[in-house]
Structure 1
Amino acid sequence: MEAKIITIFGATGNQGGSVARSLLKNPAFQVRGITRNPESDASKSLIAQGAEMVQANGLSPDEMRAAFRGSWGVFLNINSDDKLFTSPENPNEFDMGKIIVDAAASEKVQHFVFSSGPPCTEMTNGKVSMKAMDMKYKTEQYIRSLGVFKSVLPLGPGWFLENFLSKEVAPVFGGFPWFPNEEGRRVFSTPHWGGKEDVPWLSISDDFGDIVQGALLDPETWNGHFIHGLSDIRSFKELTEDFQEVTSREATWSPIEPSWEAFQTHGIHELEDVKLMFGFTQVTGGKYFGETTELHTASKLKKATAVALGYPEDKHGLVTVKEWFAARFGNAAWCKENGVIEQN
């Protein structure tokens, strides 16, 4: 049987790269990555793994149609932090999304996976307006409205666990997990999440690509279902407790109060959306995906991929927060040798 071409817009990014690496393990699929720079190290790495990489700009209808030609499925994630979208004189995220979607439709792509988000402004009655979420939701609705795809598979990625690997970001959240305070404790400082404090954590490297592949293994079954892209559900307090248990390093969660508005962005543009995310989840009672967070769907999709790829049974499940920290921070000698974490 001829392999089905899955074309990935943003194949060298975190989300697209994870999807590409997962699909490249399955001979039933052929991966075609779209990038602005096919000579980048990330592009060359995917080529070495068997992907085809094509150069195309998301604002060029002709280039996008050529990139999608012959594709059975598409994965699309648009980088909301692209500097292109910061100027009101330039096209916005929806403008780019519409060009990409129209190109896929004209090339008769059958299955469309889209990294989306809930209608932030609508759900909070205007109290919180998170442009990135609203743009993604608007694009999702446009994809659905065309009625030309056999399946439309929107999904929302949770909070990337990989963010904890960055020393640069850690001080914004109190230093956790890198920098202990004067008492030797690693403090994770955030506003409350809202609702039951069910924070959706996602390992991009371990699970995201497999979740997407699981949906593409049976796309019409999941048509129209908003997929919660996550690996585990843990409150901020539980997460620090998990870290402490597997690393034997003291850690605690310190809530920023009285509300999300007290979170400091330190003038960093990308953190503005993080602040608004806390506002959105507090106002909606923790409904980051627009509805009550659930793990069942992601678990089912991960298992479907694991079975298709012949993983051993102990690899059929999603990675827990505890497992993620244990793998990356649990061995003190390894961590010290590789500079992964400061020691007490």
Structure 2
Amino acid sequence: MSTSNQRLITVFGATGSQGGSLIKALLEDGTFSVRGVTRNADGDAALKLKKMGVEILYADYDDPLTLDRVIAGSYGVYVVTGAYIEKFYEDKELARGLRLVEAAIRAGVEHFVYSGLPSCMEVTGQRCPEFEGKSKVEEFIFASGLPSTSLRQPVSMENILIDFIPLLQEDGTFVWNIPMEGRPLPMLNPADDGRAILKVFKDPKKYIGRRIGLAGDFKTIEEYAAIASRHVSPYVIKATKMTANEFKKLASPRADDLGTMFEFLQMDASAYSLTDTQKLDPDIMDFDSFMRLNASELKEKLKYQYDAKIIQKDHLSCIGFQSAN
């Protein structure tokens, strides 16, 4: 709720994991007033936020007039562009990002915080549309002169529960098909990064002009699988032996894009920093803590495969894999 003596933070994607986490942190902290923006202002999640005292407004990223209305009066704005499917279209991602930046400039926003990504193309020579779209928006933001910070999101821990569920093999074990080939993978629980984002808003002199890669953990898939196995015993989860290049050949519409993403993360994960993230939030959730909270849900998903004897030899569950954005 906006009050006359508090600066206003407007949060796009208010009912999503990232936006919801930031709103929770803002409400607990009390320094700023809070406005949440969503395309479903009458949905259950939005109504719940309203009951908590959050001003909820409707906006459509494709309608500049609605953007001007919801950004008006904001000291700071947090932006997540792209819905689950839509964000994989680079041109749409870029167009939406540019509209949001232009609206923020018109409104005189003093701190624009963007959920960004680096460019795979610059490292691998290959395109990953989700990354390239957000990377181009990042470049536009910083070139525009708008006081901004980009907080780059890594792979989401939630994907072990959603799109990258470990798959049952003939020997009764489960394989987690994230092809990092022994290299560490930055991961984050997007529902837990609100405190880190809030710290950026509270210390603008330190963070304006910076690109910061968030990470709650930074381990190999072998290490992540061992942690998960402890929490879902007697089930055993193992890391895939698949290479990123082999992953690209899978029968999934996005296998090639995702294989490029994994190649990028193997070659250069320096865009993400566990140390920098812990400076923003010393209590950021690691993977062991995430599994402690979510073990029962994962165990049910593994049990279903085991009971139904759904043996996965072809690793086709990669359809729809998503990062934290």
One-letter amino acid of the structure 1 residue matched with residue 134 of structure 2: K
Task: State how far apart, in whole Å, the 1-side matches of 2:281 and 2:87 are.
Answer: 34
Say whether the 8 Å CA contact 2:177–2:240 is kept in structure 1.
yes
Cα deviations by residue, 1:87-116 (Å, 9 ceiling, x for unpaired): x9xx62212211111111111110011011
CA contact (8 A) 1:120 1:130 kept: yes
Tell me, yes or no, if the aligned pair for 1:247 and 1:326 is still in contact at 8 Å. no
Contact 1:199 1:234 in 2 (8 A): yes
Aligned residues: 301
Matched, 1:275 2:259: yes
**Secondary structure of residue in 1 paired with 2:151:** strand
Unaligned runs of 5+ in 1: 304-316
Q: Under a length normalisation based on structure 2, what TM-score does the superposition of the two structures give?
A: 0.83
Specify which of 31, 42, 52 is matched with residue 39 of structure 1.
42
Which of 199, 208, 214 lines up with 2:193 in the alignment?
208
1:12 aligns with 2:15: yes
Q: Percent identity over the alignment? A: 27
Structure with more contact order per residue of length (Cα contacts < 8 Å, sep ≥ 6): 2
Residue number in structure 2 paired with 1:217: 202
Q: CA deviation at 1:78?
A: 0.6
How far the C-alpha of 1:335 sits from its partner, in A, is 5.9
Question: Which of 227, 241, 245 matches 1:255?
Answer: 241
For residues 253 and 339 of structure 1, the distance between their equivalents in structure 2, rounded to whole angstroms, comes to: 20
Equivalent position amino acid for 1:160 in 2: S
> In structure 2, what is the equivalent of residue 243 of structure 1?
228
Task: Report the Cα distance in structure 2 between the residues aligned to 1:267 and 1:11, rounded to whole angstroms.
Answer: 30
Kindly state the Cα deviation for residue 276 of structure 1 after the two structures are TM-superposed. Answer: 2.4
Q: Using a 3 Å threshold, how does the CA distance of structure 1 residues 83 and 148 change in structure 2: closer, same or farther?
A: closer
- Residues 39, 59 of structure 2: 8 Å contact kept: yes
Q: Distance in 1 between matches of 2:113 and 2:86?
A: 24
Q: CA deviation at 1:237?
A: 0.4
Which piece of structure 1 moves more, 42-51 or 69-78? 42-51
**Aligned-pair CA distance for 1:85:** 7.2
Is there any run of 5+ residues in structure 2 with no aligned partner, and where?
307-325
Give the residue type in structure 2 aligned to 1:229.
Answer: L
8 Å contact kept, 2:11–2:23: yes
Alignment of 1:77-88 (within 5 A): 77-79=80-82, 81-83=84-86
- Partners of 1:201 and 1:231 within 8 A in 2: yes
In structure 1, the residue corresponding to 2:29 is in which secondary structure? coil
Going from structure 1 to structure 2, the CA distance change for 1:247 and 1:339 (only over 3 Å counts) comes to closer
How is 1:1-344 mapped onto 2 (pairs within 5 angstroms)?
Answer: 2-79=5-82, 81-83=84-86, 92-124=92-124, 126=125, 128-149=126-147, 152-166=148-162, 169-170=164-165, 174-175=166-167, 180-192=168-180, 197-205=183-191, 207-249=192-234, 250-257=236-243, 259-263=244-248, 265-269=250-254, 272-282=256-266, 285=267, 287-288=268-269, 291=270, 293-303=272-282, 317-329=283-295, 339=300, 341-342=302-303
Look up the SS of the partner of 1:298 in the other structure.
helix
TM-score (norm 1): 0.79
